[in-house]
Amino acid sequence: MKTFSITILAVLITWSGALLAQEPEGTPPPAASDVPVKIEPNAEEKTPPAVEEKMEPKEGEKPVTPVEEKKEAVKDIPLKFKGNLRYRHETIDLTDEEANHRHRIRLRFGVFSEINQQLEFGFQMASGTGDPISTNQTLSPAFTKKPLTIDLAYFNYKPVEGLSIVGGKMKNPMFRPGDSQLMWDSDLTPEGLSLSFARKISSMKVFATGVAFWNADRKGDEDDAHILGGQGGLEMKFGAFQIVVAGALYNYTKILGYGPVYDDNAFGNTLDANTLYANDYNLLDAGLELRGKLAGLPFSVFGQFVQNLAADEEKTAFLAGFSIGEAKIPMGWRLQYNFRSLQRDAVFATFSDSDFIGGGTGGSGHMVSAEFAISSNMLLGLTVQRSTLDDDAETDYTRVQVDLGVKF
Assess contact for 175 and 291: CB atoms under 8 A.
no
Q: Summarize pLDDT for 163-189 with one digit per residue, the tens.
A: 999 999 999 999 999 999 999 999 999
Residues with Cβ < 8 Å from 67, sequence gap 6 or more?
none
Of the three residues 37, 52, 73, the one that is the final residue of a domain is 73
Average pLDDT value for residue range 19-43:
44
What was the pLDDT predicted at 239? 86
Q: For residues 57 and 152, which has the higher predicted lDDT (pLDDT)?
A: 152
Q: Summarize pLDDT for 132-168 with one digit per residue, the tens.
A: 999 999 999 999 999 999 999 999 999 999 999 999 9
Q: Summarize pLDDT for 104-134 with one digit per residue, the tens.
A: 999 999 999 999 999 999 999 999 999 999 9
Average pLDDT value for residue range 349-374:
98
Assess contact for 198 and 206: CB atoms under 8 A.
yes
What was the pLDDT predicted at 47? 46
Confidence bin at 96 (pLDDT 50/70/90): confident
Mean pLDDT of the chain: 88
Rounded CA-CA distance 235/242 in Å is 7
Specify whether 58 is located in the same domain as 145: no
Assess contact for 259 and 276: CB atoms under 8 A.
yes
Specify whether 11 is located in the same domain as 125: no
Specify whether 209 is located in the same domain as 122: yes
What was the pLDDT predicted at 64? 61
Specify whether 211 is located in the same domain as 316: yes
Q: What is the DSSP secondary-structure string of 303-354?
A: EEEEEETT-SSS-EEEEEEEEEEE-SSTT-EEEEEEEEEE-TTSS-GGGS-S
Of the three residues 44, 73, 102, the one that is the final residue of a domain is 73
CA 49 to chain centre: 39
Specify whether 168 is located in the same domain as 182: yes
Average pLDDT value for residue range 32-51:
45
What was the pLDDT predicted at 74? 56
What was the pLDDT predicted at 363? 98
Specify whether 175 is located in the same domain as 310: yes
What was the pLDDT predicted at 319? 98
Rounded CA-CA distance 327/86 in Å is 16
Specify whether 178 is located in the same domain as 310: yes
Give the domain range for residue 149.
Answer: 77-407
pLDDT over 80 at 29, yes or no: no
Q: Summarize pLDDT for 225-280 with one digit per residue, the tens.
A: 999 999 999 999 988 899 999 999 999 999 999 999 999 999 999 999 999 999 99
pLDDT over 50 at 12, yes or no: no
Assess contact for 21 and 39: CB atoms under 8 A.
yes
Split into its structural domains, the chain has a count of: 2
Residues constituting the chain:
408
Specify whether 55 is located in the same domain as 103: no
Specify whether 151 is located in the same domain as 32: no
pLDDT above 70: percentage of residues in the chain: 82
Of the three residues 14, 47, 73, the one that is the final residue of a domain is 73
Torsion angle defined by CA atoms of residues 168, 173, 176 and 179, in that order, rounded to the nearest 10 degrees: 60
Average pLDDT value for residue range 381-389:
98
Q: What is the DSSP secondary-structure string of 65-92?
A: PHHHHHHHHHHTS--EEEEEEEEEEEEE
The CATH number linked to 120 is 2.40.160.10
Specify whether 182 is located in the same domain as 256: yes
Q: For residues 203 and 144, which has the higher predicted lDDT (pLDDT)?
A: 144
Specify whether 84 is located in the same domain as 227: yes
Specify whether 41 is located in the same domain as 184: no
Buried b (16+ CB within 10 A) or exposed e, 229-241: bebbbebeeeeeb
What residues are paired with 138 via a beta bridge?
104
